[in-house]
Structure 1
């Protein structure tokens, strides 16, 4: 009721009856209406690209080509599978023609081979359902009509003919008394009865040129006699009177042998499931070229699909599109049914172990640093938090020299991906920095940036130009080339780091910039905590300019203006959002980010992205990638964490760990982490108020639940903790590892 009242007060014409609205509806200028229109135009739909495409078509920049496809195109699929309210008529959903076109995964042009990841049990179940279950002569006639014909071998096997070579067989059948067929389920007595009554006949086929003789006849319903005369003009028909031509057969009349053969093969495929052309042609005594031509004809009509569907397939198979859609649904349903969702507390227990934050799962040794960096790839954290808290919390006895060695070896790189639009100073301890495997740096720099080119000072521009002109340079070389004092060069490098334009070979370069200027210039022989001497600019190695992706195309910019004009706020510049057009992310980059998120969390859902930086692609873009990965069998989709809405996806190796955590009793493990850590999910996944993701704030977990927080120097403890637990919390909050 409240929502209806709010809609009436905000948008009266929307709630009014159409008969009472005169002329066009007046769209009010209200924040809720403006935001709804903006979400519909830019989030639910990509109207900007649509308008840009129409402009390009109108200007002759895009050429339209008509093609007959075996399946609907991605654009047509959106229309065919629209929600019921998108249609003007009131036909029931189950009666719509579009429901027969459930083939999202095999119309995706970026994954044409995804159909190989179908479950063998799902294939067997669908075959058991597709093969006729005959109990009397009338059902035998219906089976003949559905399958087109039945071979002698299939007639002897009867209801058990759906058994496949992989050992899967049809479920046991039950019959009413008196319906049991003779010969242990064989169809032969019923077929002879149909032949005696003139409803079927045995067709002895002559093998085509190049086809091996099958050695068996085909049982054919009399209604398909015209079809078989076209396919087998010289066949010997036993048990059927010459000159008789049935009327009103119910089978479409074919004008040519090609149409007749395509209709026969389509009927056979409706009961056989995924088969190779050889298996299809041999019992029918047809040549392979003839069968291939007929299957291609059916493929062009969208009736059958080609691929390697069974797990052991070594050659292309063909399958009826409806059976294939059902196999795919059964595969996804079975995989998702195997998983029982865990509570959010158990998910946090799993995540703490997955992130190597519990005492038993922490990593050890210099090589473990790269493993930790790979799991945290692309995570935006404060510069001081990386070596102060994130890495020491995951690697036992962490040493800064281990990270320096990885950077110097070219395995790890540090940078700021989303630099400041106006970088007026150097980095501070809270500056967001990411650590990446260097081989993936090019992928991350292709992310579209909405900030544009940052504004930097003349000195910083001078240093940046030198690095672009000469390539990587040491600090002393930059001092000579840029003709700047060391202090001036340090400030210029700090400004370029804040803008995300340069980085150094070693993490020592960033470490030195975070130090006060006096310590940076004259470190002396003073040692820091743990005996590690503070870094100097001379130890940073070479400084280099980062290669960024190209600027967005003019089409994207123009389309943004076109869509903005559709909103009521278009005429008021003060009410227009700063960026109304979301730039498109490369599909390969999207898939890489999806893999990164899965490695980081094990299980991903839309609320996880609230802890990720704003410059990551939105969930709606990643969701399409996750669907493709699930269809390929790389990940699992389902309900893994209870109490959360939306789709969820998990790595296969994470699911057994989740199950184990659910069965394991609570062990009272204390884990203290920085609020800048990716496991800070309080207020998003876990209930409670959000803890600001600052390096100085901390959280303490016990058995996966937050029991204490340190925010701005104020400690908040759960009231249910005992006095002994209060002492343990105080120790955990002071610890940095």
Structure 2
């Protein structure tokens, strides 16, 4: 009962966050793009007569709805990396990451069948918290899910603990869940915190528990066979924090997975900086050795690695 109450509260919070988006700003951005075509960010701010944070919030909403696109994938990474408490300043660094924004052709509200299919493809397991994260009403999807379950197209059950009782998935997904969790996956892998593939960013109960273990807003998370073991975040110079005891060998593997993703995300900054690990300077102890093994060098910020990663090689 307590878990269900927590799930309801968490879902309500997600829905409230979705509703908090300024509809006036969203409409103003759409109108500017509709009237003038593809625009750079400063042009959208000027034409919409909205503040920068409002415009970025509106663009994030429209990207989620599939109604706008950008010349570069880096724009999506920048939006995903924004923190609610962070004041956004329009700098050359931000502008360098973004191309032009333009409208897509998907203005019509998609049919519930199309939305349900997309959710099944994106998440594999469809639950109420996932629809809330997408800004989709569960009441629009639930009747269709029940119909598909009755026809044998999908199955309903309690497959993942902490997600509530109304869970729908295709049979192939359920079989994958029942297999060895490490089968076919690298032992350690990293995800952006807001990546849809990271269930801890939206999953009721579990997501808040993971965040509570970290002394900062996470930007990246390292998983070991699906279990969070290391978080990174806290600003431009990242802090690292472990979420379970790690041996020296495990720490090196976790750092390797983290750096592999960080180099891609930080390609435009040209450097990855690690300031600390569990509150201690990043150059000390085993963490310093692990970072040196990944090509980091010590400077006054901590441990730094200059990247030459080419975004065109991103796969």
TM-score by length of 2: 0.51
Distance 1:601 1:623 in 2: 16
State yes or no: 1:420 paired with 2:9.
Answer: no
**What's 1:596 paired with?**
118
Match 1:721 to one of 246, 251, 270? 246
Distance 2:122 2:185 in 1: 24
Q: In structure 2, do the counterparts of structure 1 residues 632 and 671 end up closer, same or farther at CA, with 3 Å as the change threshold?
A: same
Alpha carbons 1:671, 1:732 under 8 Å: kept:
yes
Distance 2:23 2:207 in 1: 35
Distance 1:487 1:609 in 2: 29
Q: Summarize deviations over 1:158-189 as a string: whole Å, max 9, x none.
A: xxxxxxxxxxxxxxxxxxxxxxxxxxxxxxxx
Q: Summarize deviations over 1:29-68 as a string: whole Å, max 9, x none.
A: xxxxxxxxxxxxxx9xxxxxxxxxxxxxxxxxxxxxxxxx
State yes or no: 1:671 paired with 2:196.
Answer: no
User: RMSD between aligned alpha carbons?
Assistant: 4.8
Q: In structure 2, do the counterparts of structure 1 residues 687 and 720 end up closer, same or farther at CA, with 3 Å as the change threshold?
A: farther
Could you tell me which runs of 5 or more consecutive residues in structure 2 were left unpaired when the two chains were aligned.
Answer: 1-11, 13-18, 79-88, 265-315
Distance 1:520 1:422 in 2: 24
Q: In structure 2, do the counterparts of structure 1 residues 701 and 647 end up closer, same or farther at CA, with 3 Å as the change threshold?
A: same
Distance 2:196 2:124 in 1: 13
**What's 1:492 paired with?**
46
Q: Summarize deviations over 1:109-130 as a string: whole Å, max 9, x none.
A: xxxxxxxxxxxxxxxxxxxxxx
Distance 1:688 1:593 in 2: 27
Q: In structure 2, do the counterparts of structure 1 residues 494 and 671 end up closer, same or farther at CA, with 3 Å as the change threshold?
A: farther
Alpha carbons 2:116, 2:141 under 8 Å: kept:
yes
What SS does the corresponding residue of 1:710 show, helix, strand or coil? Answer: strand
**What's 1:507 paired with?**
71
What SS does the corresponding residue of 1:646 show, helix, strand or coil? Answer: coil
Distance 2:230 2:73 in 1: 35
Higher percent of residues as strand: 2
Match 2:157 to one of 621, 638, 658? 638
Residue 606 of structure 1 deviates from its aligned partner by 3.0
Distance 1:668 1:716 in 2: 21
Match 1:660 to one of 171, 179, 182? 179
Distance 1:535 1:608 in 2: 28
Matches within 5 A, 1:438-587: 454=27, 463=32, 466-467=35-36, 473=37, 489=43, 491-492=45-46, 498=56, 499=58, 506-508=70-72, 511=75, 518=92, 543-544=102-103
Q: In structure 2, do the counterparts of structure 1 residues 697 and 632 end up closer, same or farther at CA, with 3 Å as the change threshold?
A: same
Distance 1:545 1:419 in 2: 20
Matches within 5 A, 1:61-80: none
Matches within 5 A, 1:207-218: none
Alpha carbons 2:70, 2:99 under 8 Å: kept:
no
Indicate the structure (1 or 2) with the bigger Cα radius of gyration: 1
State yes or no: 1:731 paired with 2:256.
Answer: yes
What SS does the corresponding residue of 1:699 show, helix, strand or coil? Answer: strand
Distance 1:687 1:506 in 2: 29
Alpha carbons 1:675, 1:697 under 8 Å: kept:
yes
**What's 1:709 paired with?**
231
State yes or no: 1:626 paired with 2:145.
Answer: yes
Q: Summarize deviations over 1:455-485 as a string: whole Å, max 9, x none.
A: 67xxx97x56744xxxxx466xxxxxxxxxx
Could you tell me which runs of 5 or more consecutive residues in structure 1 were left unpaired when the two chains were aligned.
Answer: 1-42, 44-416, 424-452, 468-472, 476-485, 524-533, 550-585
Distance 1:695 1:687 in 2: 12
Alpha carbons 1:590, 1:622 under 8 Å: kept:
yes
Q: In structure 2, do the counterparts of structure 1 residues 728 and 495 end up closer, same or farther at CA, with 3 Å as the change threshold?
A: farther
Distance 1:509 1:660 in 2: 34
Residue 670 of structure 1 deviates from its aligned partner by 0.2
Q: Summarize deviations over 1:403-454 as a string: whole Å, max 9, x none.
A: xxxxxxxxxxxxxx9963354xxxxxxxxxxxxxxxxxxxxxxxxxxxxx74
Residue 728 of structure 1 deviates from its aligned partner by 2.6
What SS does the corresponding residue of 2:198 show, helix, strand or coil? Answer: coil
Alpha carbons 2:222, 2:231 under 8 Å: kept:
yes
TM-score by length of 1: 0.24
- How many pairs are equivalent? 217
